[in-house]
Amino acid sequence: MALHSINELQKHFENALGLVEFSDRPTELYDPVDYILKLKGKRARPVCTLASCEMFGGNYKAAINQAIAVEIFHNFTLVHDDIMDQAPLRRGKETVHKKWDTNTGILSGDAMMILAYQYLQKASNDKIQSLLSSFNRTAIKVCEGQQWDMNFETSTNVSMDDYLSMIKQKTAVLLGEALRLGAIMANADEESQHLIYDFGKDFGIAFQIQDDILDLYGDPEKFGKSPGGDILAGKKSYLYVKAMERAPKMLKEELNQTYYSADLKAPQKIEKVKSIFDELDIKSRAKAEMNRYYLSAGIALNTIEIPENQKLVLKEFAEGLMVREI
Amino acid sequence: MALHSINELQKHFENALGLVEFSDRPTELYDPVDYILKLKGKRARPVCTLASCEMFGGNYKAAINQAIAVEIFHNFTLVHDDIMDQAPLRRGKETVHKKWDTNTGILSGDAMMILAYQYLQKASNDKIQSLLSSFNRTAIKVCEGQQWDMNFETSTNVSMDDYLSMIKQKTAVLLGEALRLGAIMANADEESQHLIYDFGKDFGIAFQIQDDILDLYGDPEKFGKSPGGDILAGKKSYLYVKAMERAPKMLKEELNQTYYSADLKAPQKIEKVKSIFDELDIKSRAKAEMNRYYLSAGIALNTIEIPENQKLVLKEFAEGLMVREI
């Protein structure tokens, strides 16, 4: 039987999520849940759950509840992170705490976490222990990652190890987890569960580094935003952390003065930081690191002992998310 | 074998909780978890889990992880509720968001919910489905209860049904749940699980009504706080809602003017509200309602088909929490 394509899985997922009724009483609690879940994103995580389930020989329907769980959990983290980061917009729309208020954001987020567990547990008795252990381990890492990210904002000394560990926990492990849940639902063996998790985790890190590269070097027409947002926000991105690692003392000071200058105008600041990055050859080093993680993800996927043609859907999905022209 | 007394169970619980290591990295995330869990309260919920397990023939140790789960979950709700209510103190100490900050409170609370699930799932495969379904159903009700409570703050029209439904969801169901988890761990049948849950839920409502009565009519020397706190906070307590239900139109207006007056000094405000309550015979009506729920709880406990002597520990615990002299 041919596996479903990513597009098909995306459609099936949207349909399934559309059937979920979140609009129970009190509406003040459930309207925000409905709102954030309907701000359609790529649905990368739940689609990974479904694709992983099919790759290991299951039908996507067997993992649909776990896919919903992953998407609700992910959206719970968005709602709470947006409060902590005081972000006004999410996917171009008002964030929950802006559209309603902070209390609503906190409580709706809490409810979403419980809803995620309600969907996660929709499985036979022999799978629940495995689903829960796996999910809980990842969920707590996601919280830890968010804490590291917040710590970095006020820290003057973020090492590359710290940075990689943060993005791994904050974003990459949930992608790995999404895939692992699909594997569990398809009765994949433990070794395969482990490998598909590693694939997702390493791919997630590669994707995050790419994100940091694109923020400065991406084609504005293609990505719909002007470059250098991370610099203007003073974000300790991969590029910044790498530059701080490589720069000699004097240049390090210059970089920091520029990066956190309150006087420089936006275009000048971006230009100056970029020239320091260029001097240190940061872009190509970031690309090299991104490629290392991408390669490592590929190795994990290759090592899984199932027919290669069953891996094609996920492989193409991953390839499609990586941008060639940077 | 004699069952353990409440005091013994309390000690065993403290010991077990003391052995739990929450102080992992990042410390910014786990220090608050450690802090709130060490502000020793009565531990009523986890002790109920243990006592229920023993009542149904198990040893308390069989339910210790579920007791820890309930206590961590309860404390998660305290941390987030204190943010939403902007409360500075909890059990006489600084609240988490005051001692640290709001973001820390949000994220540590989130981590606690995940930790609660980690302890909840420590059970054999045949019990997990039951534990999770039961717990999730209650957890979502607790969130809904908190939302109703917040809604009431700005609502001018809270009915007695609304009020009872709110305290049931916000506090009483978790007591019922604590007991039910213990019953599940002791392999009690479904009818018994249901009855012990009802016992806890109805007792919880009685206890909450008692709390509202004591706030105004309690002996200050005995309860260590001056009476009338709810009135000064403008809280829609049982007494206020009952008075609004019973008062004729004119008196209703007078009560509201007094209750929400910004000009009246504290003692005058309390005195005036109290005289309106007396006119409407509110105290004895509140006591009657409290007794109805207490009686209903007792009936549920009596209906459970196990030897009466096995019920004594829980019965005495409940009796001990009810105040005779109000």
pLDDT tens, residue by residue, B125-153: 999 999 999 999 999 999 999 999 999 99
Report the DSSP pairing between strands A89-90 and B89-90: unpaired
Q: Which residues of B touch A166 (CB under 8 A)?
A: none
The per-residue pLDDT for range B257-296, each reduced to its tens digit, is 999 999 999 999 999 999 999 999 999 999 999 999 999 9
CB half-sphere exposure, B46, CA atoms < 13 A? 34
- In the stretch 20-59 of chain A, residues with CB closer than 8 A to chain B read 25-26, 28-29
Interchain proximity A107–B29, CB inside 8 Å: no
| Structure tokens, A110 | 């809490």
Rg (CA), chain A: 20
pLDDT of residue A92: 86
Q: In CATH terms, are B1-166 and B189-304 the same topology? A: yes
What letter does residue B81 receive in the DSSP assignment? Answer: H
pLDDT score of A56 more than 90: yes
Q: Scan for tokens 């983290």, then name that residue.
A: A77
Q: What is the mean pLDDT of residues A22-44?
A: 89
Out of A132, A133, A146, whose CB is closest to B107? A146
Taking the C-alpha atoms of residue A150 and residue A143, their distance in angstroms, rounded to an integer, is: 11
Taking the C-alpha atoms of residue B39 and residue B225, their distance in angstroms, rounded to an integer, is: 19
Max Cα-Cα span within chain B: 62
Element (H, E) at A94: strand A93-94
Domain spans of chain A?
A: 200-298
Q: How confident is the model at residue A21 (pLDDT cuts 50, 70, 90)?
A: confident
CA distance A64 to chain B (A): 18
Is A155 touching B (CB cutoff 8 A)?
no
Q: Scan for tokens 């994949």, then name that residue.
A: A188
The per-residue pLDDT for range B164-209, each reduced to its tens digit, is 999 999 999 999 999 999 999 999 999 999 999 999 999 999 999 9
Is B303 touching A (CB cutoff 8 A)?
no
CA distance B161 to chain A (A): 15
Q: Which residues of B touch A125 (CB under 8 A)?
A: 125-126, 128-129
Interchain proximity B29–A109, CB inside 8 Å: no
Is A121 touching B (CB cutoff 8 A)?
yes
CA distance A153 to chain B (A): 13
Percent of chain A with pLDDT strictly greater than 70: 99
Rg (CA), chain B: 20
Q: Is the peptide bond before A46 cis (omega within 30 degrees of 0)?
A: no
CA distance B207 to chain A (A): 24
Question: In 3-state terms, chain A is what percent helix, strand and coil (to 5)?
Answer: 75, 0, 25
B177, B70 Cβ separation under 8 angstroms: yes
Q: What is the mean pLDDT of residues A213-229?
A: 87
Is A80 touching B (CB cutoff 8 A)?
yes
Q: Which residues of A touch B103 (CB under 8 A)?
A: 83-84, 150
Is A125 touching B (CB cutoff 8 A)?
yes
Is A139 touching B (CB cutoff 8 A)?
yes
A294, A203 Cβ separation under 8 angstroms: yes
pLDDT of residue A23: 65
Report the DSSP pairing between strands B89-90 and A93-94: unpaired
| Yes or no: domain B1-166 corresponds to CATH 1.10.600.10 | yes
Query: What values do phi and psi take at A94, rounded to 5?
Result: -55, 140
Q: Which residues pair with A94 in a beta bridge?
A: A89
A3, A310 Cβ separation under 8 angstroms: yes
**Record: fold of B189-304:** Farnesyl Diphosphate Synthase (1.10.600)
